[in-house]
Copies of this chain bind each other. A is one copy, B any other.
């Protein structure tokens, strides 16, 4: 009896063409993160539950894949931040701070299954961890990384939105609303969805704000425009809260360095409505939105935090980090038709079709190509010529090489460009040059279309 093969719902499993795109995305992330001096890290998928759930409680705990094996209470990681905290605390003495690491890995959350929700998904995180303190310059560098990552992936129309939690907390402090700041930020977060008047009502009815305070809040989050305009408007609040002033100064640093870090002004905005959760972040916060798909929400978020590993160590480890939900991003890009289907995703550059029984000449030719860095598949099945060409079409290989008696005797290579149909008979070096040039020309496309 056969078992029906299936893949669990909420688990992404891609066909080769899409997987090739996903790999290109991951390689782009690795290379880009490396340009900023981040070191790659890998931690176990399974941790002791006691360690992973040190923070405890909350919505997360219900979603966790937790089980016992022998005497051990184990859990699958649900993000890459908690394992980083454990890693930094555990290996503190062996790390150099600031410690910059990137990690691309799978995490697990047993969410309710629905379209576009994943239970196993890749996160791609970077974090900079300081020992005791960490200069705001690191926060200023993050938008440059986000900008380069998405540009290299091929995305054009996106915006990095930045705010500073000290500005928000300082402002609510001025109003005497510090204790309700959490509720207020949650409410303000609904601005785009429900509009200012409903926000005003909620602020008064549910957050304990006076009418006047609600007006102040709406005026404050209504500050929009170019970065310089927003900074100027914020300047009017200066001198009333030390925290606010500090946050404003940090925001000014971030904005001032933008151009030198290579971020064009039109890809950046100060957005006072961004808060990113309640407790964790304490300074600059980041979101990244696709301008043509605001409904998707942020595709790269993060911020500054004051103490990464407080559950594991007395050491104060402040940091700043961002995360890309890679699996969801890939899913969304695919759904929106934004993946570049024209990209060369073939696993081989050249398919060699031997036309004689002795495999040796074809093997030798394949080896020469491979020594020169060309990806070669040797097709050695006993099939009709038409079936072989169908295979070449199906795998989308750019070049097919035919190796028959004539070519072997004349020491030439018959090579067909599968797109143009053009066929050449050149010596090996001539063929290699042609193939390499052709591959270079095909390599221009990015994973994401515009």
Contacts and interface: CB of A to CB of B under 8 A. Distances in A.
A201 to B, nearest CB: 39
Contacts of A94: 15
A312 B257 contact: no
A108 B67 CA distance: 14
Number of copies of chain A assembled together: 2
Contacts of A155: none
B141 A378 contact: yes
A283 to B, nearest CB: 15
A348 interface: yes
Interface of A: 2-8, 11-16, 19-20, 22-23, 34-48, 50-51, 54, 65, 67-70, 72, 74, 85-87, 89-91, 94-96, 98, 100-101, 106, 108, 110, 119-120, 130, 133-135, 137-138, 140-141, 144, 148, 253, 256-257, 260-262, 309, 311-314, 347-348, 351, 359-361, 363-364, 366-367, 370-371, 373-382, 391, 394-395
Contacts of A347: 34, 37-40, 100
A45 B120 contact: yes
B8 A46 contact: yes
Nearest to A363: B260
Contacts of A106: 45
B261 A37 contact: no
A43 B5 CA distance: 13
B312 A3 contact: yes
Nearest to A256: B360
Contacts of A50: 3
B69 A40 contact: no
